[in-house]
Chains A and B, each alone.
Chain A
Amino acid sequence: MSTSIKFEQVRKDYDKNTVISNLNVMIKPGELFTLLGPSGCGKTTLLRMIAGFHSIDGGTISFDDQSINDIPAHKRNIGMVFQNYAIFPHMTVYNNVKYGLKNRKISKQEMIKRLDEIIETVQITAYKDRLPNRLSGGQQQRVALARAIVIHPKVLLMDEPLSNLDAKLRIDMRRAISEIQRSIGITTVYVTHDQEEALAISDRIAVMKDGFIQQVGYPDTIYLRPFNAFVATFIGHSNLFTGTVEKENGTTYVHLTKDYRVAIDTLTEEAQAEASVMIAVRPEEFTLSEDHTGIRATVKHRNFLGKYINYELVLDDGRSIEFTQDTNLKNRFIEVGEVVHLEAIPEKINVFTADGETSLIAGVTRYVE
């Protein structure tokens, strides 16, 4: 029933600059697939290429193995939800939702049935006869969603749909979107720059930068096993260290600093002895050492954030790192000015080649199907 989307060697040019080149990825039927990246990474461009608002300048995009390259936007049968909702201000909520259906050859009864259904599903019954200018952002968002889904499109495209909502509403709508998407099982491409939103809502995520896909994976793989240093630092925060690999008596170590190394057994064969590497340690992947082993650091700032405490510490060489600690009453909270030693949790930390481009952790790949 649901449609798959395949990108083969897709290219996009703006004037003479190539902004996306040789992009290959396959979106599975019924999947909620998120394009995540900083602004200017090409995620919206890619979405608009699927929609038909941008030309495809090379390669092929296919729905179910059928190229859509030459199909004009209005014949692609896609549903799109826009960042600013794009609700037609001159039509009531009901007529907004009906607009796309009116254009299709379906019977009147079928139309009314579908409209009633969708209006019920997205919960806009109460204000279906209002004009859009009297709706809140969240309500407009629901109308936009209903309008896009009611035409039974092959794929649903969502362009930063939650970015104009306030924090609490964003979480509510996130769940609503996720539930509706799952219940009708429509293949969805979702664009956002908000990593938390992406992690929460997606089946799979493609992290993009400079028109290239950095990694495709499940939310947990992306967070726990980033494929490169960019993903490690863009999703959540990672403290980066440059160090070397050391092999001694069959045990492999990585040096985070000159005086501190951790034994690690997750590296691939490619990580050879004496090779320089980049090591990424998340703030929560440190523990406080009680016996003066580990990285020596001085506490500079302490931010109490409720669920956890975030510390900014300064190393002896002047660099800053971040460390977070659960606000578990068993934990000893440290004070500004205190000198502490931090140890990294070996199974959790990530190791990359020295340029930060490729993970050296066994089993980590750029694309996860």
Chain B
Amino acid sequence: MSNRPSSRASTEQNGPSSTGGATTIKPVQVKLVLLGEAAVGKSSIVLRFVNGEFQDNKEPTIGAAFLTQKCKLDDKIIKFEIWDTAGQERFHSLAPMYYRNAQAAVVVYDITKSASLEKAKAWVKELQRQANPNIVIALVGNKLDLQANREVTSEEAEEYAKESGLLFLEASAKTGESVGEIFTDIGNTVFDLAKKIPLENLAQTRSRTGLNNQAGNGRVDLNSGPAEAQPGNCAC
């Protein structure tokens, strides 16, 4: 994959601007994928995280949307490259293309719809079976602002997350509550993981996962340029 310089003048939430620190700190790229049932709020979470906005009645995502966001974690800068996938079942077959090389996945459900947790569990299973075995998965219960209509208790979801070794959070894209934490938690976990597993190994396991070897292996690839330069950073 091409080693492509970051072209996005990112709206950074915290930390020094990447342009300023480009010579000293190179951002670590983390490819992240959002999965979950239709209309649970995947795009809204990303939109809140990237633009700090919330839009009622966002149109359904078709295929997948791509967004990036940088954020500072301690002394490091992470650049999240986010694939926001479509939740409708018919897009399912396209999902592997987006999660195949992802280092992190956010599996979203809607706390007001218990069926959406079941779908989330199915996604987790699929990821654990077919994605990068070291993928960091966060289970996120969205629509925390709709407490009154809650169908899924925190305990139930948390217990499942624990059993399956997932990060767990409840958040609200509408109010913005806990949205940033999703990404900082993931960032930290990815760094922790990188300390234990050499990136070369990650790359190998990744290439072995190929369930669909058709041309679409994700363009965001940790074994391309930045990653080679980053092991030191991650190990901090």
Is A bound to B?
A: no
